């Protein structure tokens, strides 16, 4: 009889996948915690700063941090195939979302914008599906439509039966962020999460600098009278919302999948409402909390639906 040979078995692929998804969820949660204070700090900053100045200024400030990080790590230039995704990240996350949300925050409370932003996870999954990155099931799409209907109903109830211009701006901001999240999350699988946001910031630096130079000079002259609270808001959205938060976020999306980890944002409305109450003294109304809970419930239900990567 021939002796039996013991062959080492390969690690279980399903265990590895589950581990990556769990890590992705935790990293995504860290990113969401940072992003959740973006709207409250933005509203704090636009009390004295022009929204366009805030958008361009935070983009340039974060680009300086990104360039320093890339130089310190001696990161090579990305390949040509990465140019399109990086452009979408730059236009969507670095310029589009900050500008549109900054203008909206001058007209509506941060708590209102936080509930409208509750549809962002579903919008991100929709973009990923349309681009062919992932294939959510029919059940997922049904829940996505339900969540979107809730958000639109909330906007109509707050606007006296009609959408306010600020609501449309917030929906535009959500669309811009969704595209940047999906493209960046997919690119991060090969380029790396930190590298993805850093190169996107560097790519956006030149147009941001050109646009900033065209602003009226009196805006720069008023900077000396800007209060400490405004600069605190500017500093947070520059260093954390625009730079550090994406280190966690894109790595999480790369590990666990865009649609799946994107659902971690179901916690963001709650955290944003709490941040608006602490930083701005905005009241936590029953309507805001109720609609936030309803949106969160639909996104949580969507997470149970099948999503093929």
Distance (Å, rounded) from C-alpha 223 to C-alpha 214?
Answer: 16
Instruction: Quote the pLDDT of residue 309.
Output: 59
- Give the H or E element holding residue 136: strand 135-136
Q: What percent of the chain has pLDDT over 90?
A: 45
List, for residues 197-217, the tens digit of each pLDDT value: 999 999 999 999 999 888 866
Tokens of 165: 């211009």
Tokens of 107: 């007209």
List, for residues 261-294, the tens digit of each pLDDT value: 877 887 788 888 888 888 888 877 888 788 878 8
Q: Give the distance between the most distant pair of CA atoms in the chain.
A: 93
**Residues 56, 62, 63, 64, CA torsion sign:** positive
Asked which of 71-75, 151-155, 228-232 is least confident by mean pLDDT, the reply is: 151-155
Distance (Å, rounded) from C-alpha 46 to C-alpha 98?
Answer: 11
pTM of the model: 0.82
For 29, other C-beta atoms within 10 Å of its C-beta total 18
List, for residues 231-255, the tens digit of each pLDDT value: 999 999 999 999 999 999 999 988 8
Distance (Å, rounded) from C-alpha 113 to C-alpha 120?
Answer: 11
Average pLDDT over residues 104-131: 84
Confidence of residue 156 (pLDDT cuts 50, 70, 90): confident
Whether the Cβ atoms of residue 211 and residue 56 lie closer than 8 Å to each other: yes
Distance (Å, rounded) from C-alpha 296 to C-alpha 154?
Answer: 13
> Tokens 């039966």 label which residue?
161
Instruction: Quote the pLDDT of residue 268.
Output: 82
Closest residue by Cα to residue 175 from 82, 112, 298, 91: 91
Instruction: Quote the pLDDT of residue 182.
Output: 92
Distance (Å, rounded) from C-alpha 18 to C-alpha 141?
Answer: 24
Residue-averaged pLDDT of the chain: 84
Q: List Cβ neighbours of 11 (8 Å cut-off, separation of 6 or more).
A: none
Instruction: Quote the pLDDT of residue 263.
Output: 75
Q: List Cβ neighbours of 45 (8 Å cut-off, separation of 6 or more).
A: 54, 102, 230, 233, 234, 237
Average pLDDT over residues 172-190: 93
Average pLDDT over residues 178-200: 94
Whether the Cβ atoms of residue 19 and residue 12 lie closer than 8 Å to each other: no
Confidence of residue 160 (pLDDT cuts 50, 70, 90): low
Please determine, for residue 169, whether its predicted confidence score (pLDDT) is greater than 70.
yes
Residue bearing the bigger pLDDT, 119 or 99 = 99
Distance (Å, rounded) from C-alpha 210 to C-alpha 49?
Answer: 19
Average pLDDT over residues 144-153: 80
List, for residues 76-111, the tens digit of each pLDDT value: 999 999 999 999 999 999 999 999 999 999 888 887
For 177, other C-beta atoms within 10 Å of its C-beta total 24
List, for residues 75-85, the tens digit of each pLDDT value: 999 999 999 99
């Amino acid at each position: 009889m021939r002796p039996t040979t013991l062959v080492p078995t390969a690690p279980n692929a399903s265990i590895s996948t589950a581990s990556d998804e769990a890590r992705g969820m935790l990293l995504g949660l860290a990113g969401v915690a940072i992003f959740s204070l973006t709207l409250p700090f933005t509203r704090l900053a636009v009390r004295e700063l022009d929204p366009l100045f805030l958008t361009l200024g935070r983009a340039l400030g974060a680009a300086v941090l990104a360039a320093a990080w890339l130089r310190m790590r001696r990161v090579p230039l990305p390949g040509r195939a990465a140019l399109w995704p990086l452009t979408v990240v730059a236009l969507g996350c670095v310029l589009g979302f900050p500008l549109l949300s900054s203008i909206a925050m001058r007209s509506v409370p941060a708590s209102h914008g936080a509930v409208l932003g509750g549809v962002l996870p579903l919008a991100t999954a929709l973009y990923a599906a349309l681009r062919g990155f992932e294939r959510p099931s029919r059940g997922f799409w049904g829940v996505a439509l339900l969540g979107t209907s809730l958000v639109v109903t909330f906007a109509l109830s707050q606007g006296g039966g009609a959408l306010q211009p600020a609501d449309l701006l917030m929906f535009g901001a959500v669309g811009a962020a969704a595209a940047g999240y999906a493209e960046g999350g997919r690119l991060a699988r090969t380029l790396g999460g930190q590298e993805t946001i850093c190169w996107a910031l560097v790519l956006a630096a030149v147009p941001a600098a050109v646009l900033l130079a065209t602003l009226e000079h009196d805006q720069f002259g008023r900077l000396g009278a800007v209060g400490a609270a405004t600069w605190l808001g500017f500093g947070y959205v520059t260093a954390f919302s625009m730079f550090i938060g994406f280190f966690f976020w894109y790595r999480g999306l790369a590990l666990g999948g865009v649609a799946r980890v994107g659902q971690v944002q179901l916690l963001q409305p709650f955290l944003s409402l709490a941040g608006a109450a602490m930083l701005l003294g905005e009241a936590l109304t029953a309507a805001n909390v109720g609609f936030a809970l309803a949106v969160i419930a639909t996104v949580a239900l969507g997470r149970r639906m099948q999503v093929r990567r």
